[in-house]
Chain A
Amino acid sequence: MIVERATGERFGAVLGERVLAPLGPDATSYVTGATLPAPYSHAYVSSNDPDRALFRGSQRIDTSGVTLGIAAASAVVATAEDVARFYRALLRGELLSPETVELMTRKGLGLAMYSTPCGLAYGHDGGLYGYVSYARVAADGSKAAVLLASGYQGTGFVDDLFCARP
């Protein structure tokens, strides 16, 4: 909202122009509505999931169309590869100046710090109505690992991804 006031444009448009365009061809989009751009993965919530507080008593239901409160904190829709390309470009200083990237890592602006079995990583975790997401990127952007899933597991696997060798 602040971004929209400051630029006079919709947030999705600013994101496209300032962050996604420099990444090159990319299927990433900003979706606050119920319809995800095809092809997309559905997500399912079942009655034994942590989000059960919101979906009490239901069996496994398709939640990919749920839009409760999705906004600038959670509305990006993308493939695992595009997300990994974004994190790599960001840490390599291709989107913002090195000083700004340092500010992000040092102050935790949009990036959290993770201790992986093979050293320090930055990134973020996410979870929303049956979708879970994990991103890990090396401090110098030399590698990025991303896991996007429908379900409630994956913390350990993103470490496997990040630390894998060829």
Chain B
Amino acid sequence: MTVHAERLAVSGRGALSPWTWLAIGLGVSFLVPFAFTDVLEVPRDAYYAIHAMAALTLLGAWQRTQGVAVRAFVLHRWRWGVSLGLAAAAMLALVVTRTEDATSRPDALELAVSILWRGVVYGAADGMLLSVFPILVVYAALEPHRRHGPGRLAVGAAALLASVAFTAAYHVGYSDFRGEKLRSPVAGDAIWSAPTLLTASPLGAPIAHVGLHVAAVVHSYDTDLFLPPHGTGAPAAELQGTLDGLVDDFDVTGASAAVLTDDWTWMGTAGYADLAAREPTTVDDNFRIASLTKTYTAAVVLSLTEAGRLRLSDTLDRWLPGIHPRASEITVRQLLAHKSGIYDSMNAAVSALLTDAEAFLASLPPTLAGRVRTVAADFRRDPTTPVDPEL
């Protein structure tokens, strides 16, 4: 009797209609990421606090209008909600590890904090905003229709649709999701919303979403799909200014840059191709690309392995007998895996030394030839370590 009376009292106070609540929710979903990441560029972890507060406030404000105690609301069919939430969490964790490359991650303490903040807090906030709120608002609005089979199914479909709309609106708030990339979260919504969709428990979807986020933090810390916002850098229009700055501020005499993507292209140059003649660099200018050549070499070698003309397990000895004291131990695979990074003039010199030692040394000034001999001796001792870049 009292509960009934309270309900009437609440709805009688000219409360907002469920459709208004959904419209407000959609607005919050889009505006929070748009305003705080895209426009204001709030640092990522600080932004999560704002997002979590917005999600909790929205859900809390609506829940107060329902005339149900918070405890009863949270614990409604909680066993089912938690069980299905855990199952969906496991499934989402599997999706993360299957679809994303493993990336490096921070040390223990930072990782633990990230698991808690980006995984648990941010995951739970996403679950509340993208699933619990839209689904439960729809269920409350259409409660009388949920009593029988067919009506129940239709209401479930409407709730799923609402949740997908929230997920889409929320992700469109992030600049990098405005396009093809929106498909992934929209598809994921069906999995992370299912636990609340099936049980009406407000615990299910947040648990599932926490599973997704924790898996992303642990497996794919540098992901550019999960855990938005992703650093999205400056607009291309600002690149020219930065490139000009390289030439003005640093010891760069000329530079040429290109960005090619599925959707757009940017090219720019700065400085001079020929300082003496004061000829500006153009996009048609050739440069020695130095060690980027190693990727080309690897592509050549691997196309030969695909054609069966060479094997990665072949030793140096097989093709170049006697080239090196350890030629019978060094494989083509090891040669390709050399990652010497930048400033590898001496590395190049060393590989040339292996190619045509005497002619090469004869071409050098005596002091330089001496240095090269020292480096080569080190290299012979352990050919798998790159030459010290400080040399």
Contacts and interface: CB of A to CB of B under 8 A. Distances in A.
Interface of A: 1-3, 5-7, 11, 14-15, 18-19, 27, 29, 31, 36-44, 46, 48-51, 53-54, 60, 62, 64, 68-81, 83-88, 90, 95-97, 100, 103-105, 107-113, 115-120, 123-129, 131-133, 135, 139, 142-154, 157, 159-166
A48 B251 contact: yes
A164 B351 contact: no
Interface string B318-331: 01100100000000
Given A71-B352, A78-B287, A157 B257 contact: yes
Contact of B289 (A39, A48, A76): A76
A49 to B, nearest CB: 7
Given A118-B231, A126-B342, A157-B257, A39 B246 contact: no
Contacts of A85: 260
30 contacts: A2-B332, A6-B310, A11-B300, A15-B297, A39-B285, A41-B256, A51-B345, A68-B363, A72-B351, A79-B284, A79-B285, A84-B259, A84-B260, A87-B295, A96-B306, A104-B298, A107-B333, A110-B297, A113-B104, A118-B224, A124-B294, A125-B291, A133-B292, A144-B261, A148-B255, A148-B289, A152-B252, A154-B252, A161-B266, A166-B264
B263 A68 contact: no
A80 B287 contact: yes
A145 B11 CA distance: 58
A76 B285 contact: no
Chain B CB within 10 A, most for which of A2, A97, A107: A2
B235 to A, nearest CB: 6
Contacts of A79: 256, 258, 283-287
A160 B284 CA distance: 22
Contact of A161 (B257, B283, B286): B257
B350 interface: yes
B288 interface: yes
Contacts of A48: 251
A96 B304 CA distance: 10
B140 interface: no
B70 to A, nearest CB: 39
B253 interface: yes
A40 B284 CA distance: 8
A86 B224 contact: no
A53 B371 CA distance: 9
Contacts of A160: 233-234, 239, 242
A45 to B, nearest CB: 10
A39 B231 CA distance: 36
Given A80-B287, A115-B104, A160-B233, A39 B300 contact: no
Nearest to B301: A3
A18 B274 CA distance: 33
B353 interface: yes
Contact of A119 (B223, B238, B266): B223
B368 interface: yes
B42 interface: no
A41 B303 contact: no
A97 B304 contact: no
Interface in B341-357: 341-353, 355
Contacts of B296: 15, 19, 76, 86, 110
B339 interface: yes
A74 B288 contact: yes
Interface in B171-186: 175-176
A115 B103 contact: yes
A133 B352 contact: no
Given A6-B304, A39-B285, A88-B260, A127 B299 contact: no
A165 B176 CA distance: 8
